[in-house]
Chain A
Amino acid sequence: MRTRRPRVRLSKVLAPYLLSLPAGLWLLVLFLVPLVTMLSLSLQSCNFGTGACVMTWHWAEFTQQLSLYHGQFLNSFYYAGAATLIDLVISFPIAYWIAFYGGRKKNFFLLMLLVPFFVSFVIRTVVWSFILSDNGVVLGTLKHAHLLPQNFHVLATGYAVIAGLAYNYLPFTALPLYVAIERIDRRMLDAAYDLYATRREAFTRVILPLTVPGLFAAFLLTFIPALGDYVNQQLLGGTNNTMIGTVIQNSFQNLDYAGGSTLSAMLLAIALIGIFAYARLLGSRTIEEYL
């Protein structure tokens, strides 16, 4: 008996590490190492013709890229921010309704919120370019009815980009909000009503404060992906409303690995600032609950 004990205990001691080893290695080599490579590439100088890069500790790349593309960064902030705000406004009432009045059909309504995800992201965006096209289903009909001037257009403007982002990322906003509202203890509301709160007071002083972490999580989970998006801009926008994602994509296509990596690193830094701010204010564990 005594001789067997150490073996059993060793495998038990190692169990958590053995279980997490395969996934951990995969993430180390194909997630963390690439991020380090990206940071290193951003300090290298690359030959645009061959794509060969040499480390030159070229810190000035950051300021150069920023001075070249700050306009695209601003565009990204503006479009992603506008789309996120629209999504928050659109999805709060429906998330509230499903959480409080969904009843037995909750699953059905949640599925309806997720329904865009059943169509390929690129196809969804292509379809929006059809819908918003000058003589498409919406504008064509409105123009035909003389409700819009004939030269009115949405496609190739920033509004089309915002519309596309808002549609594509709506589920990312609605689901965290639903989770947050669903989790509210109904007895809190009963207590508020017992203390003679009106429906409006119960909403503004009980429901709204309790959903603040969820609102912030929904904001981050929508804003960060929208910030780096370039598909909507490429398919719905024009040449004068380029977002930073387009620039990154083009840099890599033109073999400017240093420039592309620099911009990606800055984008990641922006995302991290948001995440750390969330963790500081509301605790690091809580955002996971909304995923």
Chain B
Amino acid sequence: MSAISTPVREQTGLGARQPRRRRWTRLLLPGYSWLVIAYLVFPIAVMVAYSFNRVTTGLPQVSFAWNGATLKWYQEWSGIPQLTSSFWLSVRLAVATTALATVLGTLLALALVRYRPPRFRGKTAIEQVLFLNIAAPEIVLGASLLGLFVTISLARGFLTLLLAHVAFSIAYVTITVRARMAGFDRSLEEAAHDLYANGWATFRKITLPLIMPGVLAGAMMAFAISIDDFVTSNFVSGSAVPFPVWVYGVTRIGIPPQVFVFGTAIFAVGILCAAASIVVSRRQT
């Protein structure tokens, strides 16, 4: 039908004006889209620029005005001990969170993909909890966790941070892994079983390699969410101060330029990882 009608339309319905109008609109949408992308990238460019900004006053604070470029802050990247230690705390926290949340979330995703209500009662309830966990405003999660830790008088520190970060990462990992498992071919596992592989061997040799891209995507998600989290961390951090909480605290007294050096470094590493994962996925398909 369309094969016949399209050429007919092009011959008759659309006059000589149409091609010119089309060319104009063809430029409009891409031009607009690139503007939006520029808008999204602009603050990042500003951040990178400020990491090179010279400081004229004696204080180690970024000034709004541009005073010329310097590499000083990159050379003295670890010049502020609290900043450096908060950064490494965030990295340790994100690594621990990723490890725990990826394992727990992947197991849950396996259960959700494979089993349905008659054999898996409570599946819908779990799905609703996961959704609620993602959809609830983060401040509610942070406030409620602080309420819990205060009620059971658990001292706030690395442990409470880890408990909280895993709690809000599990749902993201589960949903990411589950989405990537949608096209999973169960007959491969059955084939392994027919070839006398036991449950563990089947999982290790067949299931895990097949779901690995999803698990890696989930792990990256957990790491990214954990290292960037501010709201929940600010509630439950106590004596252990992660990087975003430290930066937020220092905004009142003046931001040292090293903050932007760290920001630029995190950005560069993140973009490289994302680009690598795009390249890898393109090569696989």
Contact = CB atoms under 8 A, between A and B. Distances in A.
A130 B51 CA distance: 13
A245 B234 CA distance: 13
Nearest to A251: B143
B141 interface: yes
A27 B170 CA distance: 8
Given A91-B36, A291-B134, A112 B129 contact: no
A19 B43 contact: no
Given A34-B145, A35-B144, A252-B146, A170 B40 contact: yes
Given A32-B129, A94-B33, A98-B33, A230 B139 contact: yes
Grouping DSSP codes into helix (H, G, I), strand (E, B) and loop, the B interface class, with mixed when no group exceeds half, is helix
A53 B151 CA distance: 9
Contacts of B64: 130, 133, 135-136
Nearest to B108: A23
Interface string A149-164: 0000000000000000
Contacts of A112: 37, 40-41
A227 to B, nearest CB: 6
Chain A interface extent, by class: 35 or more
Contacts of B130: 27
B41 A111 contact: no
A42 to B, nearest CB: 9
Contacts of A24: 108, 126
Contact of A97 (B13, B30, B110, B146): B30
A56 to B, nearest CB: 15
Contact of B278 (A111, A120, A122, A191): A111
Interface string A199-227: 00000000000000000000011001101
Given A16-B114, A101-B30, A267-B137, A115 B147 contact: no
24 contacts: A15-B115, A17-B120, A19-B111, A20-B120, A35-B140, A51-B150, A96-B29, A101-B29, A113-B40, A116-B40, A116-B43, A119-B47, A127-B43, A127-B44, A127-B46, A194-B1, A196-B13, A235-B251, A252-B143, A252-B235, A261-B144, A264-B139, A272-B132, A275-B131
Interface of B: 1-2, 5-6, 9, 13, 29-30, 32-33, 36-37, 39-44, 46-47, 50, 62, 64-65, 103-105, 107-108, 110-112, 114-115, 119-120, 122-123, 126-141, 143-148, 150-151, 163-164, 166-168, 170-171, 174-175, 224, 227-228, 230-231, 234-235, 243-244, 247-248, 251, 255, 259-260, 263, 266-267, 270-271, 274-275, 278, 281-282
